[in-house]
């Protein structure tokens, strides 16, 4: 059984004794990760590849970013397709997601959201997954949700998403900190940085991006159905990378957030979890509210999970770039880079 990982608190604090104690492991991990980025066998595809990753472990808004870029690509007349690993999914075969037939355990939770926008293939073999989308679904642009550090596909544009409130934490490499590889190496393979939200921690990342001549885009996660929560007394619960972001968004919608319950990212809700949440909400006269990602897991889970979801409201969010033309500009730059790579002009 896979256990959901929870990032330790010291990752998001000033360098500590815990980080120092783990530095030998971090040095080894960082060296391997850097070599993979520098020497990875990146398979070329016959269509442009746009990668949305993040430099740290945990969620930073990659999936909403990938969805926003796909919508921009569709508006430009392209036929995008998503490729993703499908975190914690059962099985290893390439699977093109069917939201009416597949469950979160078969695909992972985020692919179910992606598949609402464009054809989505899940597999650890991203090249074969992408080729299936190209051959069977006519996709002429592949968007990778994560996979930046795996170096499996040759990318034409790599956008690294950063949570402005958390930044890069203590700027240490895993397991001393949240970085997936040394920052200098990651930036060498990135095209641009996307700063999501607001926060002082993001300022240092912006400065580092400026020193390395990387463009910085800014965006915010906005509630699509926020008005319905105005004045509503709620118990908010979430199993995502940064549950506090969900709570902050609920408060920004005007919800009266009386209680919150945080679970690890991609948490598989157990019957006792659901019973406890339901009892707490009923006892305190609160409306249960969760995220679209959590709802995807519950909706394709057990009958008890589906019945529990019927008691819940779902907060839908979308990523909005501060510059309205940014998403289209990123897609166009991806296409231009591909053209230069393929045809040398």
* Residue set of the binding site for ATP: 56-63
Residue with tokens 């296409």: 335
Q: Report the 3 state secondary structure along 295-332.
A: HHHHHCCCHHHHHHHCCCEEECEEEEECCCCHHHHHHH
* Strands of the 95-96 sheet, one edge to the other: 95-96, 120-122, 80-84, 141-145, 49-53, 157-163, 192-196, 216-223, 317-321
Count CB atoms within 10 A of the CB of residue 34: 18
Residue 91 CA to residue 192 CA, distance in Å, equals 34
CA 256 distance to own-chain centroid: 27
Annotated binding residues: 56-63
CA–CA distance, 120 with 143 (Å, rounded to integer): 9
Answer yes or no: are the C-beta atoms of 57 and 178 closer than 8 Å: yes
In terms of Cα–Cα distance, which of 82, 68, 109, 89 is closest to 298?
109
Cβ contact 7:57 at 8 Å: yes
- Residues with Cβ within 8 Å of 266's Cβ and at least 6 positions away in sequence, in order, are 4, 87, 88, 108, 109, 239, 297
């Amino acid at each position: 059984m896979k256990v959901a990982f929870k990032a330790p608190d010291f990752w998001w604090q000033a360098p500590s004794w815990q980080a120092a104690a783990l530095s030998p492991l971090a040095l080894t991990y960082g060296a391997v990760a850097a070599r993979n980025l520098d020497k990875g066998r990146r398979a070329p595809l016959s269509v442009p590849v746009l990668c949305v990753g993040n430099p740290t472990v945990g969620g930073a808004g990659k999936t909403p970013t990938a969805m926003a870029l796909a919508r921009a690509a569709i508006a430009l007349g392209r036929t995008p397709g998503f490729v993703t690993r499908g975190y914690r999914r059962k099985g290893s075969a390439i699977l093109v997601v069917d939201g009416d037939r597949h469950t979160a355990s078969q695909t992972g939770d985020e692919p179910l959201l992606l598949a609402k926008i464009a054809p989505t293939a899940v597999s650890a073999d991203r090249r074969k997954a992408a080729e299936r989308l190209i051959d069977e679904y006519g996709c002429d642009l592949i968007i990778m949700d994560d996979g930046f550090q795996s170096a499996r596909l040759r990318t034409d544009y790599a956008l690294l998403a950063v949570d402005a409130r958390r930044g890069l934490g203590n700027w240490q490499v895993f397991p001393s900190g949240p970085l997936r590889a040394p920052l200098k190496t990651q930036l060498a393979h990135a095209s641009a940085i996307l700063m999501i939200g607001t926060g002082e921690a993001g300022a240092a990342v912006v400065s580092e991006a400026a020193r390395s001549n990387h463009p910085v885009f800014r965006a915010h996660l906005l509630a699509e159905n926020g008005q319905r929560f105005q004045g509503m007394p709620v118990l908010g619960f979430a199993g995502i990378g940064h549950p506090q972001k969900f709570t902050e968004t609920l408060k920004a919608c005007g919800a009266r957030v009386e209680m919150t319950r945080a679970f690890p990212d991609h948490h598989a809700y157990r019957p006792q979890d659901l019973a406890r949440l339901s009892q707490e909400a009923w006892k305190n006269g609160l409306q249960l509210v969760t995220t679209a990602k959590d709802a995807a897991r519950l909706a394709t889970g057990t009958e008890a999970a589906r019945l529990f979801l019927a008691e819940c409201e779902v907060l839908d969010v979308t990523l909005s770039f501060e510059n309205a033309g940014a998403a289209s500009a990123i897609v166009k730059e991806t296409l231009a880079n591909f053209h230069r790579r393929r045809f040398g002009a």
